[in-house]
């Protein structure tokens, strides 16, 4: 039988605030254990939460950029359960009145346009972190608790069951990450845990509209892991169903090493969370003009920019994608394109040599002055310098911010096109490479390129290649 | 007359006139504590050293003619559910028997800032759950009027301390009567302010949507002076009200001409002690003589108040008390896995009443019962609020009895939770509505025990309550101050 | 007391992480059923169309600025810890299969 895979994701993102959601402790990553804690985030008796304005703002910006509808009145609730990383034995979350409802992401999967709908978006606090004494949670006699993470603001995004494969889930996450990076609401680093993703997955006969029994997959620590884990689980379910078996509703842990999803038992047996409205926090009432102000300040969506880059600058899809994914690289391109009109050439340089140099030198695109880039490309276009020299000059721009024209003048790097200057060099090369000259006379083209290279090397790459070729032909014949 | 027999206002005047020193005041009260505390058992922790330092500092500053707060140097006691930095804060529970908070509650900061010596932390029902102070994990506190009787609760320690002259002022907390009921049973004055008037930051939570901090004192003026100190907006408590704090003490002394007073039918109910009913009616007549207009009024949903309260408060409590799990602080039982650590810690660390309320609360919030219990109680709370809103369209103050009976005997209701709950029956609906409510002495019962009358006003109208109370104090034969009459060799077997 | 209700009490005690002795359980069941009997009075009222009250006053929520203040020194964080190890709180094994 043909099966259709049905996947819904639950994504947790850390909102990029300086302080925690309900107290003024720092959210900085990697601090010594239990050094970023206060009475509020430790849940000490008598402490009370106070909501962080920035967290609300970032959550709204994220929700708006996902086309989700901000609710004028939302509410905080307590989710009650016992776990040692949860200092108050309840997590302050939003239950039946979340911050935003609906929303969607549009993307392409193998050329097919897909619209993935969102269920809801809400704000909640992160629990602390557990360190286990053994290899894993299963074989540990004891665990250690660090509450630095407790109270860090999280955005929870729940999708509708609209995803159809592990690959699609990964593509969705990549697009989501790109959108949220654009909006500046989260740094979305899966490896640091600032983006986490759980999935619900079930199978149904192709064409069916009802949902099958689902399993929950957790502990997927990279986009690649999401794809692998979900494909693995879909395969497992398909094998069971094809053999006439049935799926047990359960939670699985993805084991990255073994590439297997292991069923998890027993953690919080029955999940009766006894939600009720948080009495310590008043409802969050948002005025329309506040939401409108935030909406107006929203940056262009990545998908919009991608299309605009192609339409406005005539870039091909691959260039547009790279310049969209890396927002500040795209910004650099667009500023430079304001003056430099050979857009495709500019795009090639920006996403090619420049991006390579930026990565190699650990620099940001925003550190590069667009005027220097324009200067460089103009010099190249006008034949003032050669391509290899241009690459060196670009490296100097990235590393030291050096003006290429000044450097050319200072070091005499300009192109050599004068016959008087080139002829002695060419003659010398010919004299030293008689074999090659003979080969050419016997019709071997390769040897000609070899001689051009020799001349270029002898001029430190500065010789005008066309002039060199002309001279070579002239002198050989 | 000893200094410990004076009111806070009198002490304040004498201190400001430099007729006495704060250290003299301190000495008088601490001698009194030495004398009577062994019999009454009010203090869980005495903080006399730091109090003496505060008093001495106040005297020094006064010598240097520094401008001081009128209550600087006037001693105070606080219920042991207010966090005090570096000082044990127990909530009268085995769970927190040796818990030392790393911070001060907002109100404690305020007392310290103006130089009020804090003499100690008073006994209470465990986690403020109870009406007799018998639920303390450590010891029972006795009523200064009759050592065989309870002082009420849960702020029983604070009420007994004021009634017995161990402090002129005390702070308590009131979730469903825990200030007013012990004030009435001990013959003093106690206020539950408007919800949000006083910051709850650092008050160990029982039921967050109901908890409110308030003063206990000998009279309305003293209460108003202390309220001026503790009231006000606090950014650390999101439910605290931003409204400006008026000069409450100015209210005492204003006339009652034209004030509309509603006599709450349900709070002078037929099954109340007839003497209490009579006392309340007599006080109402006095108000009328002073120009107020009295009419009977009904708060029709009062009957449902107790039921709603005993679902809402335990539900919030069950959640608030989840944090006592033996991991970060407090009592911790042995357990070889996390669930046994949690369950044993909580099973051994909490007393019976606390466990009962956690059970009721967990039940009413749990899957399948939420709508019928917790949610329904919250809707009934809306109806109760509306009763008050409607009543305050026609009345300025509502009056009735504070309690159905005077102080009961130790042990009398200890085994019957429901009977105990009923002793707060008059104090619950105004707590659910969030309105301010004041209990004042209403004379002595034929048994020699004090009785209380309760006055309730619309939100933020505490001043009006002090105004009416002051008028009554002036013209009624309110009970003599117990501090002189306390008979330590009398009926109690000590 | 019915066995059903005793089981209910056990379930709730488990949810609340309260270990109760068998005598406690019996007494709790008696008292709880009496208290719930009283509490059930709220169900006598028709509350159709009535909004529940979670907060008595509706004032706008206060939002604090995103500013860092010093946290507690780690000694104070751990000062009341029943069990600690290095600068962590220590807890026993957390893998337990809960029976329902
Ligand atoms: Zn904190």
What confidence tier does A161 reach under pLDDT thresholds 50, 70, 90?
A: very high
Radius of gyration of chain C (CA): 22
Identify whether residues A258 and A328 lie together within a single domain: no
Give me the pLDDT at residue A408, please.
82
Task: Enumerate the residues of chain C whose CB falls inside 8 A of the CB of residue A144.
Answer: 85-86, 88-91
B343 has a chain A CB within 8 A of its CB: no
* Chain B contact for A281 (CB, 8 A cutoff): yes
Taking the centre of ligand 1 as the mean of its atom positions, its distance from the CA of residue C65, in whole angstroms, is: 14
The confidence score (pLDDT) of residue C96 equals: 63
Q: Which of B6, B41, B79, B94 is catalytic?
A: B79
Q: Which of B86, B233, B323 to mutate to test the interface with A (most CBs of A within 10 A)?
A: B323
Predicted confidence band at B485 (pLDDT cuts at 50, 70, 90)? low
Is the model's pLDDT at B487 over the cut of 60?
no
User: In this structure, are A126 and A25 located in the same domain?
Assistant: yes
Q: Cα(B293)–Cα(B395) distance, rounded to whole angstroms?
A: 9
Inspect the interface and report whether the beta carbons of C68 and A25 lie closer than 8 Å: yes
Domain boundary among A411, A445, A462: A411
Residue B493: its pLDDT value, please?
A: 34
- With 0-12 / 13-18 / 19 or more C-beta atoms within 10 angstroms meaning exposed / middle / buried, residue B90 is buried
- For residue B92, pLDDT over 80 is answered with yes
Domains held by chain C: number: 1
Ligand 1 centroid vs A149 CA: distance in angstroms? 9
> With 50 as the cut, is the pLDDT of residue A16 above it?
yes
Residue A269 has pLDDT above 70, yes or no: no
| Cα B76 to middle of ligand 1, angstroms | 31
Q: What is the CATH number of the domain that holds A438?
A: 1.10.10.410
Q: Which residues, in sequence order, are CB contacts of A408 under 8 Å at separation 6+?
A: A379, A384, A385, A389, A393, A414
CA distance B435 to B160: 25
pLDDT, residue B330, reads 98
* Whether the predicted pLDDT of C98 surpasses 80: no
Are residues B421 and B307 in contact, defined by beta-carbon separation less than 8 angstroms? no
pLDDT score recorded for residue A450:
85
The verdict on A87 touching B (C-beta cutoff 8 Å) is yes
C9 part of a folded domain: yes
Write down which chains contact chain C via at least 3 CB pairs under 8 A: A, B
pLDDT of residue B481: 55
CA distances from B380 to B208, B429, B458, C52 (A): 18, 11, 19, 7
CATH dotted code for B3-299+385-489 = 3.90.1300.10
Q: Cβ contacts of residue C20 below 8 Å, gap of 6+?
A: B347, B355, C9, C13, C28
What is the average pLDDT score of chain A?
91
Same domain flag for A373 and A276: no
* Domain C-terminal end among A270, A293, A316: A293
Q: List the 342-381 stretch of A: residues with Cβ below 8 A of C.
A: none
Instruction: Look at residue B482 in the predicted model and tell me its pLDDT.
Output: 54
pLDDT for residue A111: 86
A87 → chain B, closest CA residue: B323
Per the prediction, chain B carries an average pLDDT of 95
Total number of domains constituting chain A: 3
Q: Which range of residues forms the domain containing residue C34?
A: 3-43
Contact B210, B458 (CB under 8 A): no
Is residue C17 situated within a structural domain?
A: yes
User: What average pLDDT score do residues B474-479 get?
Assistant: 70
- Looking up residue C26, the CATH number of its domain turns out to be 1.10.20.60
Chains that touch A (3 or more CB pairs under 8 A): B, C
Instruction: Choose among A412, A404, A398, A421: nearest CA to A467.
Output: A421
- B205 alpha carbon – ligand 1 mean position (Å): 18
Residues of A with Cβ-Cβ distance to C95 under 8 angstroms? 137-138, 140, 266
SS3 A195: strand
- Establish if A272 touches chain B: CB-CB under 8 angstroms: yes
Compute the C-alpha angle C43/C45/C50, nearest 5°. Answer: 105
Q: Which residues make Cβ contacts (< 8 Å) with residue B160, sequence separation at least 6?
A: B40, B42, B122, B141, B142, B143, B144, B151, B166, B182, B186
- In A160-249 the beta strands, taken as DSSP E runs, fall at 195-205, 215-220
Positive or negative torsion for Cα A4, A5, A8, A14: negative
Range of the domain at A445: 419-476
Look up the pTM and report it.
0.90
Tell me the pLDDT tens digit for each residue of B383-436.
999 999 999 999 999 999 999 999 999 999 998 999 999 999 999 999 999 999
Q: Which residues lie near ion ligand 1 (Cβ < 5 Å)?
A: A 23, 25, 38, 40-41
pLDDT at A267: 46
pLDDT at A349: 93
| Helix (H) or strand (E) segment spanning residue B231 | none
Same domain, A389 and A345: yes
Q: How confident is the model at residue C62 (pLDDT cuts 50, 70, 90)?
A: confident
| pLDDT for residue B477 | 63
C14 part of a folded domain: yes
Same domain, residue pair A21 and A152: yes
Provide the pLDDT for residue B494. 33
Mapping DSSP to helix (H, G, I), strand (E, B) and coil, where does residue A261 land? strand
pLDDT digits (tens, 9 = 90+) for C6-38: 999 999 999 999 999 999 999 999 999 999 999
* Mean per-residue pLDDT over chain C, rounded: 91
Structural tokens at position A333? 């391109």
- The distance of C1 to chain A (nearest Cα, Å) reads 25
Q: pLDDT value at position B492?
A: 34
Assigned domain for C90 exists: no
Residue B451 pLDDT exceeds 70: yes
Are residue A242 and residue A167 in the same domain, yes or no?
Answer: yes
Under the banding of pLDDT at 50, 70 and 90, the label for residue A22 is very high
CB B159 within 8 A of CB B172: yes
Which residues on neighbouring strands pair with residue A80, listed in sequence order?
A90
Residues whose CB falls within 8 Å of the CB of residue A400, separated by 6 or more in sequence, listed in order: none
What average pLDDT does the segment B365-376 reach?
95
Helix axes A327-337, A302-313, angle to 10 degrees: 30
Lowest mean pLDDT among A187-191, B111-115, B199-203, B375-379: A187-191
% of chain B with per-residue pLDDT over 70 = 96
- Does residue A336 share a domain with residue A199? no
Do A402 and A431 reside in the same domain of the chain? Answer: no
Note whether A287 and A336 are same-domain residues: no
B439-B442-B443-B449 Cα dihedral, nearest 10 degrees: -50
Nearest chain B CA: its distance from A296 CA (Å): 29
- Report yes or no: B378 at the C interface, CB cutoff 8 Å: yes
- What is the predicted pLDDT for the residue at A266? 46
pLDDT at A477 over 80: no
State the catalytic residue, choosing from B12, B93, B154, B332: B154
State the pLDDT at residue B235. Answer: 96
Q: Do A35 and C91 touch (CB under 8 A)?
A: no
The whole-angstrom separation of Cα A278 and Cα C54 is 8
User: ipTM more than 0.90?
Assistant: yes
pLDDT, residue B478, reads 57
CB neighbour class for B333 (10 Å; exposed up to 12, middle 13-18, buried from 19): middle
**Residue A385 pLDDT > 90:** no
Domain ranges of chain B: 3-299+385-489
């Amino acid at each position: 039988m043909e099966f259709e895979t049905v996947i819904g994701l639950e994504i947790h993102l850390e909102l990029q605030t300086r302080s925690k959601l309900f107290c003024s402790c720092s959210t900085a990553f990697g601090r010594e254990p239990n050094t970023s804690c206060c009475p509020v985030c430790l849940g000490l008796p008598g402490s009370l939460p106070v909501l962080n304005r920035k967290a609300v703002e970032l959550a709204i910006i994220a929700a708006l950029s996902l086309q989700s509808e901000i609710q004028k009145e939302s509410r905080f609730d307590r989710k009650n359960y016992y776990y040692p990383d949860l200092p108050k034995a309840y997590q302050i979350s939003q239950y039946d009145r979340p911050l935003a409802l609906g929303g969607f992401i549009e993307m392409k999967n193998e050329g097919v346009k897909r619209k993935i709908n969102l269920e809801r978006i809400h704000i909640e606090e992160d629990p602390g972190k557990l360190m286990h004494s053994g290899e894993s949670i299963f074989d540990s006699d004891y665990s250690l608790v660090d509450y630095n993470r407790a109270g860090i603001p999280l955005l929870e995004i729940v999708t509708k069951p609209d995803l159809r494969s592990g690959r699609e889930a990964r593509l969705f996450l990549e697009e989501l990450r790109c959108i949220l990076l654009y909006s500046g609401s989260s740094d979305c680093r899966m490896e640091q845990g600032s983006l986490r993703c759980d999935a619900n997955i079930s199978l149904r006969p192709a064409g069916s509209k009802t949902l099958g029994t689902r399993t929950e997959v957790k502990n997927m620590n990279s986009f690649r892991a999401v794809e692998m884990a979900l494909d693995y689980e879909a395969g497992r379910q398909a094998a069971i169903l094809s053999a006439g078996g049935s799926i047990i509703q359960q939670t699985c842990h993805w084991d990255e090493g073994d590439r297997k999803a292991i069923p998890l038992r027993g953690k919080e047996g029955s999940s009766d969370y006894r939600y009720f409205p948080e009495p310590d926090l008043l409802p969050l009432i948002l005025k329309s003009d506040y939401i409108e102000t935030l909406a107006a300040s929203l940056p262009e969506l990545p998908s919009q920019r991608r299309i605009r880059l192609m339409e406005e600058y005539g870039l091909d899809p691959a260039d547009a994608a790279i310049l969209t994914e890396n927002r500040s690289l795209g910004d650099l391109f667009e500023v430079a394109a304001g003056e430099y009109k050979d857009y495709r050439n500019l795009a090639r340089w920006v996403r090619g040599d420049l991006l390579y140099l930026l990565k190699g030198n650990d620099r940001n695109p925003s550190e590069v002055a667009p005027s220097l880039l324009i200067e460089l490309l103009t010099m190249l276009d006008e034949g003032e310098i050669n391509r290899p020299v241009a690459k060196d000059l670009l490296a100097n721009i990235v590393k030291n911010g050096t003006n290429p024209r000044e450097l050319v003048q200072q070091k005499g790097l300009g192109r050599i096109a004068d016959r008087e200057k080139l002829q002695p060099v060419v003659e010398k090369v010919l004299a030293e490479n008689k074999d090659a000259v003979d080969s050419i006379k016997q019709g071997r083209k390769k040897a000609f390129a070899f001689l051009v290279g020799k001349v270029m090397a002898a001029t430190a790459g500065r010789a005008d290649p066309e002039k060199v070729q002309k001279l070579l032909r002239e002198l050989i014949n | 007359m000893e200094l410990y027999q004076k009111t806070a206002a009198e002490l304040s005047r004498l201190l400001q006139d430099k007729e006495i020193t704060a250290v003299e005041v301190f000495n008088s009260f601490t001698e009194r504590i030495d004398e009577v505390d062994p019999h009454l058992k009010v203090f869980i922790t005495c903080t006399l050293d730091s109090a003496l330092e505060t008093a001495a500092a106040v005297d020094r500053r006064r010598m240097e003619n520094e401008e001081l707060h009128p209550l600087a140097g006037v001693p105070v006691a606080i219920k042991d559910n207010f966090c005090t930095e570096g000082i044990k804060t127990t909530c009268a529970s085995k769970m927190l028997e040796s818990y030392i908070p790393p911070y001060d509650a907002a109100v404690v900061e305020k007392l310290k800032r103006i130089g009020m010596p804090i003499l100690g932390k008073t006994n209470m029902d465990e986690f403020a759950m109870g009406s007799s102070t018998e639920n303390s994990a450590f010891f029972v506190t006795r009523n200064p009027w009759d050592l065989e009787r309870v002082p009420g609760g849960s702020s029983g320690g604070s009420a007994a301390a004021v009634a017995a002259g161990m402090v002129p002022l005390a702070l308590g907390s009131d979730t469903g009567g825990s200030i007013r009921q012990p004030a009435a049973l001990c013959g003093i004055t106690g206020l539950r302010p408007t919800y949000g008037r006083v910051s709850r930051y650092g008050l160990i939570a029982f039921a967050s949507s109901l908890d409110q901090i308030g003063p206990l004192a000998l009279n309305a003026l003293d209460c108003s002076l202390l309220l001026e100190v503790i009231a006000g907006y606090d950014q650390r408590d999101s439910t605290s009200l931003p409204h400006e704090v008026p000069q409450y003490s100015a209210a005492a002394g204003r006339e009652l001409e034209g004030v509309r007073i509603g006599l709450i039918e349900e709070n002078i109910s037929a099954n109340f002690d007839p003497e209490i009913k009579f006392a309340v009616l007599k006080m109402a007549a006095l108000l009328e003589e002073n120009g107020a207009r009295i009419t009977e009024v009904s708060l029709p949903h009062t009957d449902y108040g107790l039921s709603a309260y005993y679902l809402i408060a335990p539900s919030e409590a069950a959640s608030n008390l989840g944090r006592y799990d033996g991991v970060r602080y407090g009592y911790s039982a042995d357990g070889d896995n996390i669930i046994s650590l949690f369950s044993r810690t909580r099973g051994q660390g909490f007393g019976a009443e606390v466990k009962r309320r956690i059970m009721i609360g967990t039940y009413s919030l749990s899957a399948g019962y939420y709508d019928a219990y917790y949610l329904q109680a919250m809707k009934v709370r809306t109806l109760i609020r509306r009763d008050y809103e409607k009543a305050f369209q026609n009345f300025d103050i509502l009056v009735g009895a504070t309690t159905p009976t005077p102080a009961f005997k130790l042990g009398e209701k200890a085994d019957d939770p429901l009977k105990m709950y009923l002793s707060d029956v008059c104090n619950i609906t105004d707590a659910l509505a969030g309105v301010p409510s004041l209990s004042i002495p209403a004379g002595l019962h034929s048994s020699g025990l004090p009785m209380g009358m309760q006055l309730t006003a619309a939100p933020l109208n505490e001043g009006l309550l002090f105004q009416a109370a002051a008028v009554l104090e002036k013209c009624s034969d309110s009970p003599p101050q117990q501090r002189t009459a306390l008979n330590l060799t009398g009926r109690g077997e000590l | 007391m019915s066995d059903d209700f005793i089981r209910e009490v056990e379930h709730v005690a488990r949810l609340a992480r309260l270990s109760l002795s068998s005598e406690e359980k019996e007494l709790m069941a008696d008292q709880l059923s009496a208290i719930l009997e009283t509490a059930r009075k709220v169900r006598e009222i028709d509350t159709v169309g009535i909004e529940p009250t979670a907060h008595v006053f509706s004032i706008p929520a206060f939002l604090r600025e995103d500013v860092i203040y010093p946290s507690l020194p780690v000694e104070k964080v751990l000062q009341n810890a029943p069990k600690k190890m290095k600068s962590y709180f220590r807890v026993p094994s957390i893998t337990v299969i809960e029976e329902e």
